[in-house]
Amino acid sequence: MSLLIDVPRGLQSARIYHDRDVFDLEMERIFARTWLFLTHECMIPNKGDFITTRMGQDEVIVVRQQDGGIKAFLNVCRHRGARVCPVEAGNARGFVCNYHGWSYGTDGALQSMPFEKELYRGRLDKRTHGLREVAQVTSYHGFVYGNFDAQAPSLLDYLGEARFYLDIWMEANGGAELVGPPARSMVHCNWKAPSENFVGDAYHVGWTHAAALKAGGSMLAPMSGNAMLPPAGAGLQVATRYGHGLGILYDVNPGAHDTPLAQEILAWQAKKRPAMEKAYGALRTRYYGSHINGSVFPNNTYLWGSSLFKVWHPHAPDRTECFTWAIVEKDMPQDLKQRIANSLHRTFGVAGYWEADDNDNMESESQLSRGHMTRQGFMNAQMGIGGDREDPELPGVVGESAIGETSYRGYFRFYEETMRAKSWAEMPVQDSTWKRQLIEAGSGLDPDPAGEAMVPAQAAA
């Protein structure tokens, strides 16, 4: 791993986008033991409601239990490994494998098999052949996450300092929900390319999306073609312990980049701000009316303000399935929720014009890493390095401007940590050295002779 991620210098090997051995280790060290987004409770409100989704390369069924709880199981029959549930969502009293007819309850228990007495003669213990259950399933403000590893920290501990920022749109405004079912598309990129983009890349917006900004009537249109930078103090970036990160651009709501809709959303939010400010303070209430790009490590991304919520499911090193929902506030009128969803899918849906811009970049940076010479190189995430700090009012490590790569460096710092560690015991929950790693990053860097970039000190010497 030391050849893949250079935390002190803010560099990442191009191998992480295409190497099969790296990908396989990610499935073991990351997707088999970190918290992964499954669904929102609004998608499974009733007993027996279910959805099918993925956790890494594994298919799972997420189902509302008779007691109102939520469980998740591998979508794999315990007989010969065929798929148990072939549909994306529904309501069921149980699941029956289409191959040989083994039948399971919504609690995962094996209930019956054809010719059980005649063929098995009491030699098969049904109690040990239920669907394999996901070890931990927890709902956070209605957003449901699962973890295969029973020894992993709780979801609350895992989200940690990121909760300070998530709570303001997940809960403080009366709660948020997703409009589904999700749009699904296959992108020919590595799963980390979009995850890192959302965790902290505001740098690309004015350039990659220049035409979209002009044509779409976005509140961000002044950034088109890199005509301007957000002024000093217009936002910030944040990195947290377990790789979650975000960037905030203050007092902007693109409304999925539809200015009339954005104005309506801002008017809606204005009604809530006095009560929120009283309960949560002026600073956090300002975040509510701002644009936030973020990722919950490893593969769950969102744009609060653009109404976007995504999960990037890895299928192969260069193939990723994208699930896309619209985020809305629970108490919004139904017609406003639908207009937000419609606008979101025009921009960031399967055929969205912002989505197409991003996918071109994500696919090229992933596919080019196949090249023998290309994968010998490193990618640079040094923007703002040396300027990261702790803030007495804000949890996490804070970057000094709205455009920077603080949260990139935080994302890959934890990526490197979890890829190295053999168990959660090697990643103590209360560890605080990670902050020092980010704040002190860049101390071994010197400008190159032309003063145009930061390079490793020994390389510059």
Query: Distance between CA 395 and CA 218 in Å, rounded?
Result: 31
Please indicate whether residue 446 is annotated as part of the active site.
no
Strands 300-304 and 308-316: antiparallel
Q: Out of 201, 258, 318, 357, which one is annotated catalytic?
A: 201
Rounded Cα distance, 377 and 456, in Å = 13
107, 204, 315, 446: the active-site residue: 204
**Nearest CA-CA partner of 74 in 93, 97, 90:** 97
Amino acid at 432: S
Compute CA distances 332 → 113, 127, 171, whole Å. 47, 46, 14
Instruction: Confirm if 228 and 213 have CB atoms less than 8 A apart.
Output: no
What is the rounded radius of gyration, in angstroms, for the C-alpha atoms of the chain? Answer: 23
Show the tokens assigned to 415: 């990526």
- Catalytic choice (49, 357, 358, 388): 358
Q: Which of 209, 291, 313, 345 is catalytic?
A: 209
To the query of whether residue 141 is one of the catalytic residues in this protein, the response is no
Q: What is the DSSP code (8-state) at residue 452?
A: S
- The CB density around residue 453, as the number of other CB atoms within 10 Å, is 11
129 labelled catalytic: no
d(CA 161, CA 239): 9
**To which residue do tokens 């449901």 refer?**
144
Residue 257 annotated among the catalytic residues of the structure: no
User: Does the active-site annotation cover 358?
Assistant: yes
**Catalytic site positions:** 100, 201, 204, 209, 358
